[in-house]
Amino acid sequence: MGTWTTVSLPLPSSRRGLRWRGDRILRFVMHDRILGYLFLFPALLVIVGLVAYPFASAIVMTFQAKTAGAPGRFIGLDNYRELLRSEQFLRAVVNTVSYTAIGVGFKFLLGLSMALVLNQERFGNNLFRSFLLIPWAIPTVMSALNWRWIFDDASGLINNVLVRLELIEETISWLSNPHLAMLSVITVVIWQGTPFFTMSFLAGLQAIPKELYEAAEIDGASVLQQFSYITLPRLRPIFITAVMLSAILTSAGIQFVLILTNGGPSDRTMIFPVLAYHLALGGAQRLGMGAAVSLIFFPILVVFIVFLTRRMLREKGE
Amino acid sequence: MALRVTTQRRVLQGVGNGALVLMLLWTAIPFYWMIATSLKHDKEIYGYEATLIPQRPTLENYATVFRETPYLLFLRNSLAVAAGSTLLSMVIACLGAYAIARLNFPGRAFLARSLVFTYLVPTSLLFIPMFAMMSVLRLTDSLHGLIIAYLGFDVPFCTWLLMGYFKSVPVDLEEAARVDGCNRVGALLRIVLPMSLPALVVVTFFSFTHAWNEFLYAHVFTSTTSARTVTTGLVNFMSQDVFFWGPLMASTVMSALPPVLMFLVFQRWVVKGLTLGGVKG
C-alpha cells in the first residue's frame, strides 16, 4: 500500500479534485492487476514447474532413448513403433479398458444402491454412513497390503475360510492364477472405490426436494416411477461427474496392481501405468518408452479431463 | 393407491436393511482381518493351527515393528512431508484463490481453468518426467523433494476448492473493511480467511492425508531408508519376498489410523468438500 500513497503536490485547486480521483482509480486498477499476478505467481510456478514442464518434457522424452540422469538420444518414432508392435502393450490396452469399465461399473452400482439405502430413514444411519466411508479414508497402500494378505495362497482369510468350510481341498492362488488375478484385483478396486460414489450420490439424493416425491405420490406414481422420473434425472449430473473422475483415477491408479500382482501372472493384470512403470524404472530404465506408454493414453484421458474441467468450473460459477 | 406405495416402501425398507447388513460386513471383514492378524502370534497366523479369531491376543507384533524396523523414522518422515506440503500449499492456495475470486485482472479465467485441468492430470502420467527432473535437481532421496512434488497436486486442488468458498464470502464485508483503511492483504487475513474456516479445514485435511497416503512419487523418488515414508517403508518390508504378516499388519493398522481418525473428526466438512470435486475415485 505504501508505495502508492500519493504525494500531494500544490496544484490549482480546480484541478486538484479531478487529479486526485483519477489517481485513485488508477491506483485501484493497478493494485488489482499487480496484486492478482503477484498472488497467483506461486501457484503458477507450481503449475508450470510441476505439471506443464514435466508434461512437455515427457513428450520430448518419447522421441528419445533416455535413462535417468543422462541426456537422451533422438530416435524419432522408434519408441512408439516398438510399443505398437509389442504384444505386452496391446494386452495392457485391453486390460486397462476392462479393468476400468468393470471397476467403475460396479463401484457405480454399489455406490448408488448404498446411497439409496442410506437415504431411507433408519436408526443409526449416521453411524453406518461413517463406517461405510472408512475404506475411502484408508491409505490405498494399506488396503492393498491388507488384501494381498486376505488373498494369500497359504494362510489368507479366503482360503482359510474355504478350507474350514470344506468347500475346497487345495487352496486357491487368487493373485497368481491367470483366470482369477484380474477379478481379484478388481474386487479390491471396488472395495476401496465404492465409498466415493456412495458419498457423492447420497449428497445428490439429499439435495432433491421432498415435495417432488410427495406430489408424485398424490398423483399415484409407484416407487419405481418416482425413481425413474424424479431420482434418476436429478442425479444425472452427479453420475457423469463421478463416473468420469473415477474413470480417470481408476485407469491411472497404479498402487493396487503394483502391490497385489505387479502386472502378473504373465501380464494378465498389466495396465498402462504399471507398464509405464516397468519400462521406465524396471531393469532397463527406458524412460522414453515408459513416457510413450503414458502419452498414448493421454488423448483418451484428456477428453475426460477437459469435460470435467468445464463442469467443475461451472459448479463454482466461474 | 397410496396404500400400495406404502407397502412398496415397506418392502424396500426391508430390502434396504438386508443390503445394508451385507455392505457393512463386506466393508468390515477386511478391517477385522487386518486388526486380528496384528494381534496374533505367528502360530495362529500360519499353518494348521491358523485361527480366525485370535485365541491369545498379543501386542508382540507392534513391539517388533518398533524394535526391528525404522518405523519411527518412517512416521517422522511422513509427518514432516505432510506438514510441510500442507503448510506450503495452504499459503500458495489462499493467495491464488483470493486473486481468482476477488481481483480483476486479464487472464483470470484462463488461470482458473488451468488450475482445475492440472488437478485432474493423474500423477501416473507425470512420474517418469518428474523422476528425471528430480534426479537432475538432486532432489531424489530427500524429504524436500517430496514436499515440492506434492505441491503439484495439492496446490491446484486447494486453490480450486478455496476459490469457490471465497466467492461465497459477501463482498460488502470486505468493502466495508477497505473503506476503514484495510488493504487487500488485510481484508484477506482479517475478513475472508476467518469466514472460510470450514473450507480451510477441508483443504488441510485433503493435503495432509494426500501427502500421508501418497505412494507413487515416494516410491519412485526414494531409494534409501533415510527418506522413506510410512507408505513406502512398509512395502519395502515385503520386497525381499519375506512376508512377516503379523508385524506388517500391525504397522498397517498404525499407519491407517491417523487419516481415518482425521476423517471421522472432520467428516461433515470433508464429505461436502469431496462431493464438490472429489479425490481418489
Comparison of pLDDT for A172 and A105, the residue scoring more? A105
Burial class (CB in 10 A: 0-12, 13-18, 19+), A101: middle
Residue A12 lies in a domain: yes
One domain for residues A7 and A145: no
Between CA B217 and CA B155 the distance in angstroms is 16
Residue A66 lies in a domain: no
Strand runs labelled E in chain B: none
Does residue B181 register a pLDDT over 90?
no
DSSP lists the bridge partners of residue A63 as none
One domain for residues A241 and A100: yes
Report the number of distinct structural domains present in chain A: 2
8 Å CB contact of B122 and A249: yes
Q: In chain B, what percentage of residues exceed pLDDT 90?
A: 47
Between CA B73 and CA B246 the distance in angstroms is 20
Residues 6 or more apart whose CB falls under 8 angstroms from that of B94 comprise B162, B188, B193
B-chain CB neighbours of A139 within 8 Å are: 209, 212-213, 215, 230-231, 255-256, 259
8 Å CB contact of A143 and B4: no
pLDDT-derived band at A34 (thresholds 50, 70, 90) equals confident
Nearest CA among B122, B110, B161, B263 for reference residue A244: B122
Task: Write down the pLDDT at residue B225.
Answer: 85
8 Å CB contact of A46 and B156: yes
Mean pLDDT calculated for residue range A11-31: 54
Burial class (CB in 10 A: 0-12, 13-18, 19+), A19: middle
Residues 6 or more apart whose CB falls under 8 angstroms from that of A133 comprise A195, A198, A199, B263, B267, B271
One domain for residues A26 and A112: no
Nearest CA among B108, B273, B272 for reference residue A318: B108
Mean pLDDT calculated for residue range B271-276: 65
| A200–chain B Cβ distance below 8 A for any pair | yes
Which of A118, A145, A246 is the closest to B281 by Cβ? A246
Q: In chain A, what percentage of residues exceed pLDDT 90?
A: 55
Nearest CA among B84, B93, B126, B117 for reference residue A45: B93
Nearest CA among B80, B84, B86 for reference residue B209: B86
Interface test with B, best of A37, A44, A47, A61 (most B CBs within 10 A): A47
pLDDT-derived band at A14 (thresholds 50, 70, 90) equals very low
Length in residues, chain B: 281
Q: Closest Cα of chain A to B278: distance in Å?
A: 8
B-chain CB neighbours of A43 within 8 Å are: 92-93, 95-96, 111, 115, 155-156, 159
Between CA A164 and CA A183 the distance in angstroms is 23
Which of B118, B276, B278 is the closest to A51 by Cβ? B118
Comparison of pLDDT for A165 and A27, the residue scoring more? A165
| A135–chain B Cβ distance below 8 A for any pair | yes
pLDDT-derived band at A207 (thresholds 50, 70, 90) equals confident
Grid-cell match 400400495, residue found: B4
Does residue B124 register a pLDDT over 90?
no
Residue A199 lies in a domain: yes
One domain for residues A158 and A94: yes
Does residue A4 register a pLDDT over 50?
no
Residue A68 lies in a domain: no
Residue A70 lies in a domain: no
| A122–chain B Cβ distance below 8 A for any pair | yes
Coil/strand/helix, residue B36: helix
pLDDT-derived band at B278 (thresholds 50, 70, 90) equals very low
Provide the residue range defining the domain that includes A143: 77-315
Q: Closest Cα of chain B to A302: distance in Å?
A: 8
Does residue A7 register a pLDDT over 60?
no
| A98–chain B Cβ distance below 8 A for any pair | no
Burial class (CB in 10 A: 0-12, 13-18, 19+), A205: middle
8 Å CB contact of B105 and A31: no
pLDDT-derived band at A6 (thresholds 50, 70, 90) equals very low
Asked if B20 contacts A128 with a C-beta cutoff of 8 angstroms, the reply is yes
pLDDT-derived band at A13 (thresholds 50, 70, 90) equals very low
Read off the CATH number of the domain in which A107 is found.
Answer: 1.10.3720.10
One domain for residues A165 and A52: no
User: Which three three-digit cell numbers place residue A242?
Assistant: 463421478
Q: Closest Cα of chain B to A14: distance in Å?
A: 26
* Residue B70 to residues A274, B84, B211, Cα–Cα distance (Å): 28, 21, 19
Does residue B237 register a pLDDT over 70?
no
Task: Write down the pLDDT at residue B250.
Answer: 94
Grid-cell match 488441510, residue found: B204
Interface test with A, best of B1, B124, B154 (most A CBs within 10 A): B124
Asked if B253 contacts B38 with a C-beta cutoff of 8 angstroms, the reply is yes
pLDDT-derived band at A304 (thresholds 50, 70, 90) equals confident
One domain for residues A115 and A245: yes
B-chain CB neighbours of A1 within 8 Å are: 183
Phi, psi of A123 (to 5 degrees): -70, 130
User: Which three three-digit cell numbers place residue B254?
Assistant: 498404525
Mean pLDDT calculated for residue range A30-43: 82
Q: Which of A26-30, B33-37, B123-127 has the lowest mean pLDDT?
A: A26-30
Between CA B264 and CA B258 the distance in angstroms is 10
Q: Closest Cα of chain A to B148: distance in Å?
A: 8
Does residue A317 register a pLDDT over 90?
no
B-chain CB neighbours of A277 within 8 Å are: 124, 127, 220
One domain for residues A222 and A92: yes
Q: Which of A62-76, A129-143, A226-240, B11-25 has the lowest mean pLDDT?
A: A62-76
Residue A291 lies in a domain: yes
One domain for residues A292 and A221: yes
Q: Closest Cα of chain A to B45: distance in Å?
A: 7
A-chain CB neighbours of B247 within 8 Å are: none
Residue A225 lies in a domain: yes
Mean pLDDT calculated for residue range A281-302: 88
Task: Write down the pLDDT at residue B194.
Answer: 87
Three state DSSP letters for chain A: CHHHCCCCCCCCHHHHHHHHHHHHHHHHHHHHHHHHHHHHHHHHHHHHHHHHHHHHHHHHHCCEECCCCCCCEECCCHHHHHHHHCHHHHHHHHHHHHHHHHHHHHHHHHHHHHHHHHHCCCCCHHHHHHHHHHHHHCCHHHHHHHHHHHCCCCCCHHHHHHHHCCCCCCCCCCCCCCCCHHHHHHHHHHHHHHHHHHHHHHHHHHCCCHHHHHHHHHCCCCHHHHHHHHHHHHHHHHHHHHHHHHHHHHHHCCHHHHHHCCCCCCCCCCCHHHHHHHHHHCCCCCHHHHHHHHHHHHHHHHHHHHHHHHHHHHHCCC
Q: Closest Cα of chain B to A147: distance in Å?
A: 7
Mean pLDDT calculated for residue range A134-146: 93
Task: Write down the pLDDT at residue B38.
Answer: 95
Mean pLDDT calculated for residue range A217-235: 91
A-chain CB neighbours of B5 within 8 Å are: 217, 221-223
- Give the residue from chain A lying closest to B114, CA to CA: A47
| A86–chain B Cβ distance below 8 A for any pair | no
Nearest CA among A117, A130, A135 for reference residue B21: A117
One domain for residues A89 and A232: yes
User: Which three three-digit cell numbers place residue A147?
Assistant: 488384501
Between CA A139 and CA A129 the distance in angstroms is 19
8 Å CB contact of A200 and B278: yes
Task: Write down the pLDDT at residue B169.
Answer: 83
One domain for residues A190 and A43: no
Asked if B269 contacts B201 with a C-beta cutoff of 8 angstroms, the reply is yes
Between CA A193 and CA B281 the distance in angstroms is 6
8 Å CB contact of B112 and A313: yes
8 Å CB contact of B183 and A1: yes
One domain for residues A216 and A287: yes
pLDDT-derived band at B269 (thresholds 50, 70, 90) equals confident
Between CA B161 and CA B93 the distance in angstroms is 9
Residue A242 lies in a domain: yes
- Mean pLDDT over each residue of chain B, to the nearest integer: 87
Grid-cell match 438386508, residue found: B18
One domain for residues A45 and A93: no
Asked if A305 contacts B113 with a C-beta cutoff of 8 angstroms, the reply is no
Chain B neighbours among A 232-291 (CB < 8 Å)? Answer: 238, 241-242, 245-250, 252-255, 259, 273, 276-277, 280-281, 287, 290-291
Asked which of A28, A61, A94 is the last residue of a domain, the reply is A61
How many CB atoms are closer than 10 A to CB B272? Answer: 14
Chain B neighbours among A 31-70 (CB < 8 Å)? Answer: 31-33, 35-40, 42-44, 46-47, 50-55, 57-58, 61, 66, 68-69
Asked if A217 contacts B2 with a C-beta cutoff of 8 angstroms, the reply is yes
| A103–chain B Cβ distance below 8 A for any pair | no
B-chain CB neighbours of A204 within 8 Å are: 275
Comparison of pLDDT for A108 and A67, the residue scoring more? A108
Task: Write down the pLDDT at residue A12.
Answer: 46
B-chain CB neighbours of A136 within 8 Å are: 263, 280
